[in-house]
Structures are given as C-alpha cells and as structure tokens.
Amino acid sequence: MMLSEFDLIARFFTRPPSDTKRIVLGVGDDCALLAPTPGMQLAISSDMLVEGRHFFPHADPQLLGHKCLAVNLSDLAAMGARPLGFTLALSLPEARAEWLAPFAAGMLTLADAHGCELIGGDTTKGALNICITIFGEVAPHRALQRDGARAGDDIWISGTLGDARLALAGYRNELALDTALLDLAGQRMHKPTPRVALGQALCGIAHAAIDISDGLVGDLGHILKRSKVGATLCADALPAGPILVQQSLEIRRRFALAGGDDYELCFTAPATQRDQVLAAANAASTAVTRVGSIDASPGLRLIDADGAALDLQLASFDHFSSP
Amino acid sequence: MMLSEFDLIARFFTRPPSDTKRIVLGVGDDCALLAPTPGMQLAISSDMLVEGRHFFPHADPQLLGHKCLAVNLSDLAAMGARPLGFTLALSLPEARAEWLAPFAAGMLTLADAHGCELIGGDTTKGALNICITIFGEVAPHRALQRDGARAGDDIWISGTLGDARLALAGYRNELALDTALLDLAGQRMHKPTPRVALGQALCGIAHAAIDISDGLVGDLGHILKRSKVGATLCADALPAGPILVQQSLEIRRRFALAGGDDYELCFTAPATQRDQVLAAANAASTAVTRVGSIDASPGLRLIDADGAALDLQLASFDHFSSP
C-alpha cells in the first residue's frame, strides 16, 4: 500500500507528547517546541545512516529502526546526558506500510524505553537514508567530554567488544561461523544496547568518555588527541564478546581493538575512583572492565597479558578512505 | 583532492564558537552542548534535501549550501524564533575540496548573517543528501503556530510568489523564457531569502504562520486544518514576483497559488492589527500584502479581483505522489 507524505507522518510518526510540559509542541508544525529544564544544558547529536554503507540493503526494518535510534542514544550516553527527544529525517524510495510499520515500531519501542520522544522531522522520496538528531540534557560542567582524560587515569570499557565485527566477518565470508553463532553475533551488530544509564551514572566520576562506533583504537585515539595525553592498553584485558572469545587470539585482539559497531562506552577515571566506577556500573546494571591507563607521553601503546609490547597494524574506519 | 572524513570536518566545518556562553561545546565531541537562555523555549526543525529531488544534479555548490540552510531558517521564521545554531549531516559520493569549499562558504555566510552557528553533525559516503536540524529560541506562548488562526483574521503574504516555480517551468521547457528573465527567476529558486526578522517581529501580533515551501494553497491548507477554520483568498491580490507578473493571468494565478519553493511567510492576524503588521514588516524591511481572510466555515474559496468565485484545480506538492 502506497501512502502520501502526510498520511505516512500521521500514521506512523505522530503520537501525542507524553510529557506536554517538556514537549510543548510535537510533530506537525514548522518547528517542534521543547522547554528545557531551567539551568540544564542541551546535548545534541546527529547521525546519518545510509543503506549499503551502515546497513545491508533489505535490512530487517524493525531492527533497523532500533539501531538508528540506538546509535544516537549512544552519543548521549557518551556525554552522560539524559535523553529528551529526537527528530527523524527519512528519505525512502517508496512509502510502504509493510516497511514503515515495523521500522517505526523498532524505533519507538526503544524511544519509549528511554523516555525519548519523536518531536519532528521530514520525509522525502529518495535512496534510503535515515538521519536522526537527538536531544538530551546534562547539568553544567557535568558532561563527559573527550578532552578531560588525565595522566594516571584508568581506562574502562563497558560490556564486551568485537562480536559485531565478528558477525560482519561471517556475513562477508571472511570467517566460517556456524549459523547459530553467526545469529548470536549478528544480534550485537543489528541490535546494539546504548549505555544510557551508565553514562549518566558516571557524571562526576569519569574524566572523559566516548562511545565506540569506529573501533576502540580509533575512538580512544580521539580522547587522547583532544586530551593531549597517551595511553597504554592491555589487548588481552579487553572484554571480548561471548562469540568472539571462542576465536583465535589474533582474531580476538584484532576485532576487540578495531572492530567497530560496538556502541560500548570507553571512559577514563582517576585510579582513586575505582570503587565509585564499579558502584555506578552496578547501579546501571552494566558490566565494566579496566583495560589500561592514561600516560602523559603521547601515543597509544598496546601490551599483551604479560606486559610485553604488541605491534599490531590497525586502522580505524574512515567513511571516505574505506571501500 | 580527496580528503578523509576527519580532515573534511576539520577543514570546512570546524570554527571556534563565536558565542561560547551559548555554544558551550561545538563540533568535535559525541554531542554539542547548547546553553539555552533561561526561560526560553527551543524551536527545532529538520529538513532533508536530496539530489535530483530538491535540487538538480551538479547544482552550484555555493548556492546549494545557501539554500539548504535557508529552508531551515525559514522554518524558524515561521515560528517567530531567533536562530541559535544547526547541525549538518552530509552524505556525499566523494570528499572533494573543490565542491566542499564553496558549499561550506554558501552555508556559513548565511549562517553568520543570522548569528546561527554550526555546532555538530555527521559526514558519510553515499548519494548526495543534506540533512540540517536547526535550533532557535522563542519566549513561552509567543511562537507562531499553525493552529492559531481565527475567523475574521486577515491573511498576509510576505514578499512575492511564483518566480521560483516560473524558473522551474523554464528549466523544464514548459514555458519559453528568455535567458535574462530565466536567470532572474532562477535566483528566487536557488537563493531564497528566509524571513527571519519578519517572523520575530510578528510575535504577539500574528495569530498563525507557516512558510510557503510546497505552494500557498497547500501550505495555507495546513493552517486551516490545524486551526479548524476556512478562508477566502483573492487570487488576483497575490503579490506575483517581478518575472511572473509579465506572464498570462492563468500562469500568474497558478504559479502564485501553487508554485512552491517560495519560502515566504503566510500569516494571519486580526483585522484590528493592520497597522501593527505594517509596522512589523517595516521594521523587518520586508514587504507584506493582504490577500484574503479567515472564515468560520471550512474550505478554501478562491475569488478573482471582482470577488467572483474561481474554480482552479490545484495540487500541493507531495513527495510520494509526485513524479
């Protein structure tokens, strides 16, 4: 069934705001109106997902709806911000209810779980392209920025790494994985869990944070560059995902260090705050693992379980140099 | 010259915030941080522009940069909001400085003219697709919504209508226009002027407003529907653009009523406020024309200069039903 632009918005993307004090005006006018909590700062992030680049053609629309919002919530998590709302700009080849209904359901179920309301957007005809801009709030001077890491800080990782990259290797036939394992690893790729509660719990404890979307080495590199510090990372301390952990040491190291699509948090905190970090992680029901430390001297040093230097050639993902 | 994703952002889209009190953190972290003026509401809008749909392939990048931001500023204007900042998500086939430099220049020149800062975004490889989310602020209960029109209100239009549609007809060879006239009309299509100052000046005077992007009849229709009113519009009172005014009466009416791409404001205000409307327009250096009135009975009635009913078949633009 083909829908008009206005039918499409009315049918799948218009719901009365659940919090009309915060969302003064939702979908349907020239702008949405948001009333921020007085004194709070707004955290804002945009992510654009392109078919064939960020997701496979003919991807399951419900999982895709989840993932598009999840990667944006992950950016709020990495700032320690509380989600408020988001806009959705959607370019798609045709307006079919059979695709839009599960796409909206996947997206809005996750939105509801985080109290994050769809407040506006745009729809147009074109190649499938999904652009979300998300809004959260955070108290002044409490946001977890990339530039706050200090020499002596511990480096921590939430959850586990590398299973999403392992699934990609399976789909691409770079590695042979049996179907059941590939399905499990694929869950990590298709349905990431944004660490929203952990990010907020770490405000006032962590010095710096980033979410791991392009691979740990590259993303930690952004913290090091912005904070003007270096780091030592124990490759064998990295919490490999339950499927990755069954692979060879070489694959384990490579995919945990430079996999991408993990959407875990990498954060730094003073060594004096270890108990507080663990308490915050516990309060957020999210496992965290200490994997290295921040050094004053620039550069990233990788070591193995025995403390010996590792020389791995790893590349972070770049949208314009990667195939 | 091909650039990496991070080079591209650093070189063309990163500038120190000019107002660090308002923009706490700009491009380069997981989120931007914006400190809204205490007590003000945020007006938020997203527009996505797709090559071949909203603009011609191989469009002039400087004009394109201008237009992408202009259509978003026009949404703020239609709410009476003051521009604060915007995010840019950009999918493009290749990162060439020869395209990016003029694109950024066109966009940022207009941004600077309105004190509206680029605070974040995303870049990725893919078909050319430009998604901007814009933020403005407006005092509580002062925003110009679509649902505020009342029976007895005058209907007003800023500037002139139809020249952008005339240019499209020329480019498509639907009409023969000499080159000089086509160039002039094309300026209206390629370089629209968002009526930002007028929108703000109308707060507290106008009852309802919308910007005319899909054609006056369709866009006024949104006001009528949301306000649960009707209207009488004098087709021959519409301020036709300087090129359109030289065309036949039939073309003049059709393109002024349902042209699209005008980015003028259509607003309603009580008949008792005519002097205030004219004073606001004067303060904003923007011409306005009274073109009809709001009625209690539903529907839109078109009349000619003598007050006789006109029966024109007009369609508003729908992205999913139009070719």
ipTM: 0.88
- % of chain A with per-residue pLDDT over 70: 94
**pLDDT digit string, tens, across residues B124-162:** 999 999 999 999 999 999 999 999 999 999 999 999 999
Tokens found for residue B256: 């002024």
pLDDT of the residue at A321: 55
pLDDT of the residue at B233: 95
**pLDDT digit string, tens, across residues B269-285:** 999 999 999 999 999 99
Q: Do A143 and B33 touch (CB under 8 A)?
A: yes
Burial label, B208 (beta-carbon count in 10 A; 0-12, 13-18, 19+): buried
Spell out which residues of chain B touch residue A35, defining contact as CB-CB under 8 Å.
Answer: 41-42, 140
- In chain A, what are the domains? 5-138 (3.30.1330.10), 153-303 (3.90.650.10)
Spell out which residues of chain B touch residue A30, defining contact as CB-CB under 8 Å.
Answer: 45, 75-76, 78-79, 146, 209-211
Beta bridge partners of A91: A124, A129
Chain B closest-CA separation from residue A282 CA (Å): 24
pLDDT of the residue at A85: 93
- Closest listed residue to residue A289, CA positions, set A254, A241, A246, A237: A237
Residues 137-166 in A contacting B (C-alpha not used; CB under 8 Å): 138, 140, 143, 145-147
Residue numbers of chain A with a pLDDT score lower than 50: 323
Beta bridge partners of A158: A288
Chain A closest-CA separation from residue B172 CA (Å): 20
| Contact between A248 and A169 (Cβ < 8 Å) | no
Q: Quickly count: other Cβ atoms within 10 Å of residue B58's Cβ.
A: 8
pLDDT of the residue at A159: 97
Return d(Cα B102, Cα B106) in angstroms, integer. Answer: 6
| Contact between B30 and A263 (Cβ < 8 Å) | no
Q: Do B133 and A87 touch (CB under 8 A)?
A: yes
Picking from A25, A52, A122, the nearest residue to B46 by CB comes out as A122
pLDDT in single tens digits along all 323 residues of chain B: 566 776 777 777 777 767 767 888 888 888 989 888 888 999 999 999 999 888 888 899 999 999 999 999 999 999 999 999 999 999 999 888 899 999 999 999 999 999 999 999 889 999 999 999 999 999 999 999 999 999 999 999 999 999 999 999 999 999 888 999 999 999 999 999 999 999 999 999 999 999 999 999 999 999 999 999 999 999 999 999 999 999 999 999 999 999 889 999 999 999 999 999 999 999 999 999 999 999 999 999 999 999 999 887 665 555 555 54
| Residues contacting residue A215 through CB under 8 Å, at least 6 positions apart | A165, A257, A258, A259, A260, A262, A314, A316, A317
Chain B closest-CA separation from residue A170 CA (Å): 24
The pTM score is 0.91
**pLDDT digit string, tens, across residues B201-238:** 999 999 999 999 999 999 999 999 999 999 999 999 99
